[in-house]
A and B are shown apart, each in its own frame.
Chain A
Amino acid sequence: MTKISLLRSLRDLTARKAEKLCSKDKPHFKQFLKVYEKVVVDDLVEKELLSENIRLVEPILTAFAKQQSEIPIPFFVSEKQVSKIRVSSYWLEVAANDSDDWHHLYGKDLIRLYEALDDAGYLDNLE
């Protein structure tokens, strides 16, 4: 087992993520790190936006699923159309119309479903 050098700063984190992309021996590594720092921060911000948006839309989709079990618009998850929605003990689940194979709805799919339902006006009268 090799000894671990813990990360202490954004520069360390950037170097760690950049390691996979280029070698430290390369002459432009330092210059590359400076540019890459912004990429790392942008990536962190994007993940934070996703998790904050999930936190915002989850109660609304839960309220929607409690009110009706059908997804009234064409909606695809992993290229498969799903048309049923339900609230399980911990999360929202979706399934194809003719199937009892329920899948946990999470991440970007939650946001996509919220936006699609909102655009089509299905969330307007939600209590």
Chain B
Amino acid sequence: MKKIKLLRSIDDLAVNRHSRRSSPHASYFPVSLEDVKNEIVKDLTNSAIASENARMVKPVLIRYADTVSRCIPVMFKVRGHIETRIRHNEGYDQHGLHRHWVEVASDSGGWFVLGDEDMVRLYEALLDGGYLSELFK
């Protein structure tokens, strides 16, 4: 098995990502290590923002599904499919911790767990449509 070198800093992360991008099959456009570092920080920030936003909107969507409606009254698509139903579900994760999550389904399809960015999109669509106003009274 090939020996691995653990990553200890953002520079190591950047070198790791940079070497993948500099492979003969990767992009023809040269990118500097500094650019890669900036990209890493931007990616990490965006994903942290998405997950923090999802953490904030999840209780609202759960309350919506539990008390207002189990229908999605706005056009909401996930990977090209229109989802029309919403529900709150709960259970245990792989670490044995009790978790709550939001699930959606189309008219004829099965239920699936809504990801972070999709939760925020649904929250914004419901908010813009005025469907959350009674929760914020």
Chain A contacts to B: CB under 8 angstroms: 1-4, 6-10, 12-13, 16, 40-41, 44-45, 47-49, 52-53, 56-57, 59-60, 63, 90-91, 104, 106, 111, 114-115, 123, 126-127
User: How far, in Å, is B96 (CB) from chain A's closest CB?
Assistant: 8
Report whether B8 and A49 are in contact in the complex, using a CB–CB cutoff of 8 Å. Answer: yes
Measured CB to CB, the nearest residue on chain B to A12 is: B49
Inter-chain contact B56/A104, CB cutoff 8 Å: no
A44 in contact with B1 (CB, 8 Å): no
| Complex alpha-carbon distance, A57 and B49, angstroms | 28
How many Cβ-Cβ contacts under 8 Å join chain A to chain B?
80
* Given A4-B57, A56-B6, A60-B4, CB of A45 within 8 Å of CB of B16: no
| B10-40 interface bits toward A, Cβ cutoff 8 Å, 1 = contact, 0 = none | 1011001000000000000000000000001
Q: Is B74 an interface residue (CB 8 A)?
A: no
Complex Cα gap A111–B52 (Å): 26
Q: Given the complex, which residues of A lie within 8 Å of B48, measured CB to CB? A: 13, 40, 44
Give Cα A9–Cα B3 distance, bound, in whole angstroms. Answer: 39
- Tell me if A1 and B52 are in contact (CB < 8 A): no
Bound form: Cα–Cα A77–B74 in Å: 49
- B44 engages A44 (CB within 8 Å): yes
Does residue B9 face the partner (Cβ distance < 8 Å to A)? yes
Nearest-neighbour CB distance to chain A for B98, whole angstroms, equals 16
